[in-house]
Amino acid sequence: MASEPTSTNPAVKSIVSGNAPPAARSAAARGLLPLPQSDLLEALVHLTADNDPSIARAARETLVSQSSADLLEAARSEAIAPAVLGHFASLANADRKIYEAVVTNANTPNEAIALLARNTPDASLIELITLNQQRLIRSPEIIDSVLMNPARTPDAERRVKEIRREFFEKERGARQIAQELRARGNSAAAEFFESAELSGAELSIDDAWAIAQHIEVSDDDIDDSWLAREFIEEVFVETPEQLAANMQAVINAERMEGDISPERISMIRRIMFMTVKDRVKLAMKGDREARGILVRDSNKIVATGVIHNPRITDQEVEKIAAMRTVADEVLRLIGMSRAWARSYPIIHNLARNPRPPMATAVQVLPRIRTKDLKAISQNRNVSEAVRRQAYRLTEMRGPVT
């Protein structure tokens, strides 16, 4: 029966710790000890569970005799014992203001709030409980209690369900996926889901599992020195309209290249519902299929993440260099790469593509073969400046032999 006392009063400490003699406990139970209100209430609440039935009964009677004004003042106090607040929460017919004070008092035990949330018929009181998001996150049993109470309002139900989904179900789902992936030896995907911010994305567990199958790069293999990762979410905030437009643009771009399967469309939708930060990480960690989707992302940081993926191949870069639906920054980075500049198909595609920055296109022209250079000088799809430069270089080299 012993517990940790809140009061510093020696008599109360003796009662709560279980060391007080029967005479002292009896006097306290009848309210005869000269104690401040908060100390008296702490002693009385403790004595309601005394082993001596007469003392327990006397303590309950003394508690009932306390005025509502005194109880309300105690419930609002920051110094009141948590056990007293828990007792107030368990009362069947207390003044509503006392319940409100208990709900808003930071010292009220979470289990007492859960009890009140489960039993109160007062819908507005349930609303008040659900407004304290931090308490709900710390104590999910309060969420369960609200959902068990038929007096809950639609707003209260919506609020606690949103918190449960965002802070518990998705987090638990991602953790479960990571554990399963690691058990299967796929540590790269496990790393992704352990650090992903899936609480901000509209992903089901099935969606997350499907994405996990397309992750192949470990964190140890990634060089993210180019990326100020902590600023991504702050700088790139997407509205639902922007997200939908981005997803449709990717689908349309793939349709322009030929038929696109329903499975591919489903994969695009899953990826595009991820947060910007998670899409960047997937761009750097994902396989060929994920890279092929994310390189078309309208967010330049996401698209350039694909170029920094250590598994990207020259064949993929060659195809990207010819794309007219990718960000010009992606094409600029390809043109700057010494390794890719040694691949003639890559620089040839860059030179013929109307999308690269003019400086990038002009920079690669001297490495283009004369026959191809002449074709570029006549290509109406590239800019006038690029055509003129291609023509000048062709003239300087003389006739093609």
**pLDDT score for 1:** 40
The pLDDT > 70 percentage for the chain reads 92
Encoding tokens for residue 282?
């997937």
Q: Per-residue pLDDT averaged across 55-62, rounded? A: 94
Residues 171 and 301 in one domain: yes
**pLDDT score for 66:** 92
Residues 156 and 206 in one domain: no
Residues 16 and 153 in one domain: yes
- pLDDT, one tens digit per residue, over 182-222 is 888 888 888 888 777 764 455 666 777 788 889 999 888 88
Encoding tokens for residue 274?
């991820």
- CA–CA dist 103, 88 (Å, integer): 10
**pLDDT score for 2:** 47
**pLDDT score for 348:** 96
163 vs 74: which has the higher pLDDT: 74
Residue 320 covered by a domain: no
Burial class (CB in 10 A: 0-12, 13-18, 19+), 185: exposed
Encoding tokens for residue 192?
């992704």
Q: Which of 275, 273, 295, 274 is nearest to 284 (CA)?
A: 295
Domain boundary among 160, 178, 195: 160
Residue 66 covered by a domain: yes
Element (H, E) at 233: helix 232-235
> How many C-alpha atoms does 357 have within 13 Å on its Cβ side?
12
Residues 109 and 180 in one domain: no
* DSSP secondary structure string for all residues of 157-192: HHHHHHHHIIIIIHHHHHHHHHHHHHHTT-HHHHHH
Q: Per-residue pLDDT averaged across 94-112, rounded? A: 94
Residue 84: pLDDT band with limits 50, 70, 90: very high
Residues 345 and 377 in one domain: yes
Residues 191 and 217 in one domain: yes
Domain boundary among 261, 282, 312: 312
Q: Per-residue pLDDT averaged across 166-188, rounded? A: 75
DSSP single-letter state for residue 66: S
Residue with tokens 């006549």: 378
Residue 133 covered by a domain: yes
Q: Per-residue pLDDT averaged across 248-270, rounded? A: 87
Residues 136 and 197 in one domain: no
Residue 5 covered by a domain: no
Residue 318 covered by a domain: no
Instruction: Say yes or no to pLDDT of 44 above 90.
Output: yes
Residue 87 identity (one-letter amino acid): H
Residues 279 and 342 in one domain: no
Answer for the pair 279, 242: CB distance below 8 angstroms, yes or no. no
Question: Which string of b and e fits 158-182 if b means at least 16 CB within 10 Å?
Answer: ebbeebbeebeebeebbeebbeebe
Q: Per-residue pLDDT averaged across 17-24, rounded? A: 91
- CA–CA dist 180, 288 (Å, integer): 23
Instruction: Say yes or no to pLDDT of 174 above 90.
Output: no
* DSSP secondary structure string for all residues of 311-366: T--HHHHHHHHT-SSS-HHHHHHHHH-HHHHT-HHHHHHHHH-S-S-HHHHHHHGG
Domain boundary among 284, 312, 340: 312
**pLDDT score for 278:** 87
**pLDDT score for 372:** 94
Residue 33 identity (one-letter amino acid): L
Q: Distances from the Cα of 44 to the Cαs of 19, 52, 61, 76, 300, in angstroms?
A: 15, 13, 10, 18, 66
- CA–CA dist 57, 78 (Å, integer): 28
Residues 66 and 192 in one domain: no
Residue 4 covered by a domain: no
Residue 93 covered by a domain: yes
Residues 236 and 154 in one domain: no
> How many C-alpha atoms does 24 have within 13 Å on its Cβ side?
14
Residue with tokens 């995907």: 189
- pLDDT, one tens digit per residue, over 274-319 is 888 889 999 999 999 999 999 999 998 999 999 999 999 999 999 9
- CA–CA dist 216, 311 (Å, integer): 8
- pLDDT, one tens digit per residue, over 355-381 is 999 999 999 999 999 999 999 999 999
Encoding tokens for residue 112?
């007492």
**Helix, coil or strand: residue 80:** coil
Residues 129 and 258 in one domain: no
Q: Which of 48, 71, 33, 58 is nearest to 12 (CA)?
A: 33
**pLDDT score for 400:** 60
**Helix, coil or strand: residue 215:** strand
Rg over CA atoms, the chain: 34
- What domain range is 197 assigned to? 161-312
- CA–CA dist 28, 361 (Å, integer): 91
**pLDDT score for 353:** 94
- CA–CA dist 271, 291 (Å, integer): 11
End-to-end Cα distance, the chain: 103
- CA–CA dist 290, 325 (Å, integer): 16
Residue 1 covered by a domain: no
Residues 349 and 304 in one domain: no
Number of domains forming the structure of the chain? 3
Q: Per-residue pLDDT averaged across 385-391, rounded? A: 93
- pLDDT, one tens digit per residue, over 109-162 is 999 999 999 999 999 999 999 999 889 988 889 999 999 999 999 999 999 988
